[in-house]
Structures are given as C-alpha cells and as structure tokens.
A and B are shown apart, each in its own frame.
Chain A
Amino acid sequence: AIQMTQSPSSLSASVGDRVTITCRASQGIRNNLDWFQQKPGKAPKLLIYAASSLQSGVPSRFSGSGSGTDFTLTISSLQPEDFASYYCLQDYNYPWTFGQGTKVEIK
C-alpha cells in the first residue's frame, strides 16, 4: 500500500498567517491527491481535489500544488474558521490511504 507522510502533525499559527502543509507519497501518484478539512465532531470536507483543483464553494485562500510524490496545501491568510485538522488522501490505487493529519491550532 502507498504510504502518505503528512507534516507537520500540528502547528500553531495566528490569524492572517500563511500556512503550508505537506504530504509525501511513498511512490508516485501523479496528481491523484485530495485535501480535506475536519472540525471536531464533524465529517471531513473536501477542499482540493486532483492535487490543485479547488472544490466548489471553498474559499480561494486554499490552494494545492504538487505532482508525483510531493504535495502541498497552502492557506494564504489563515482565518478563525480555518482552525481544524487537515488530511491528504491518495486515490491513485487501492487501498486508498490518508495522511496522518495536521492539526492547525491558534497561537
């Protein structure tokens, strides 16, 4: 199975900060990577699909990049509602695998 290594596992940031989260795949997955946001007690929400496509309704401060093995989720200016956990998911081949998650906390 493809392993997804996500970093950092947690970070503290302030409103207005630029935040970057990375995912590295154990083998090439082309652009078959999605990013999700999850708030406590809620189901995850799709932010970015196919590495860089913004899901409908998601604010443009979220962006994704990368291909092959290295991927990045960027929040250009952190907002109060962005404090949450973030996960990457490779959907290149089965079994699909998630990264371990990144918890974004208030500094």
Chain B
Amino acid sequence: QAQLVESGGGVVQPGRSLRLSCAASAFSFSNYGMHWVRQAPGKGLEWVAVISYDGSDKYYADSVKGRFTISRDNSKNTLYLQLNSLRPEDTAVYYCAKGFFDDSTSYGKHFDCWGQGTLVTVSS
C-alpha cells in the first residue's frame, strides 16, 4: 500500500525558512505527479503546489508563489517543499499527496494517498 510520510515541520520565526520532506514508499514514485496541500488550524484545505513526475513542471498557489519551491528527488523517492520568507498566515499542517492520473493539462489528479501531515508554526 502506498505510503507518504512528511517531516520537517516546527516552530519558526517570521521571515525565516524551513524545508519540508515527504518520503514515499510502496509505489513507483517517479511515475506520479505530487502535490502539497495545507490546512490552517480550524480552517479548510488549501492547495499549495504541484510538481510533475519528472520535476520539469511546477505550479503554485498565488499565496505562496515566489516564496515556496517544490522539488523532488526520484532517486530518493522524496518530495520537498522549501518555505522561504515565512509569514504567520503560513501556519498550517502541510500534507503531501499523490494523485493517480495525469491528463494533458494536469499532473497527479485525484489524490488517492495522503501523508499524515507536518505542522508548521510561524510565530515570533
């Protein structure tokens, strides 16, 4: 059964940086587009970013564009999210998610596997 395990969350001051990791197992990681989704405490879900199966294509939510960078290392079966210039409103549980379908316009559609999430708290 496919599994995703996030790590790297913690408490960080505004303006600082953090890198999240998502370790994948039990599926062919290099074949799938991968996503990050976040959820602020007590709030709804927010899509953050996607990376194509080979890392050549990336898209971001407007709220994080220019500050966050998604990347992957297929040799390590690991997805990353680099969070720079962090703001208090970035406080959230960050989930990585795998989709099972690509089409001509989107990668990793239909999230059939999620990690357990890692909490990022931005506070002075």
User: Interface residues of A, CB < 8 Å — how many?
Assistant: 25
Known: A43-B95, A43-B115, A43-B116. A95 touches B109 (CB 8 A): no
Q: How far is the CA of A49 from the CA of B37 in the complex (A)?
A: 17
How many whole Å from B65's CB to the nearest CB in chain A?
A: 9
Which residues in B have their C-beta under 8 angstroms from that of A96? 47, 50, 106
Give the shortest distance, in Å, between B38 (CB) and chain A (any CB). 11
Closest B residue, CB atoms, query A100: B44
Whether B45 lies near A91 (C-beta < 8 A) is: no
Total number of B residues with any Cβ neighbor in A under 8 Å: 22
A36–B114 alpha-carbon span in the complex (Å): 12
Chain A residues closer than 8 Å to B111, beta-carbon distance: 34, 36, 44, 46, 89
A49 to B111, CA, bound (A): 9
A93 to chain B, nearest CB (A): 6
Whole-angstrom distance between the Cβ of B97 and the nearest chain A Cβ = 8
Roughly how many angstroms separate A49 CA and B106 CA in the complex, as a whole number? 14
Which residues of A are at the interface with B, using a C-beta cutoff of 8 A?
A: 1, 32, 34, 36, 38, 43-46, 49-50, 55, 87, 89, 91-101
Can you name 17 A-B residue pairings with CB atoms under 8 Å?
A34-B110, A43-B116, A43-B117, A44-B37, A46-B111, A46-B112, A55-B110, A89-B45, A89-B111, A92-B105, A94-B59, A95-B62, A96-B47, A96-B106, A98-B47, A99-B44, A101-B45
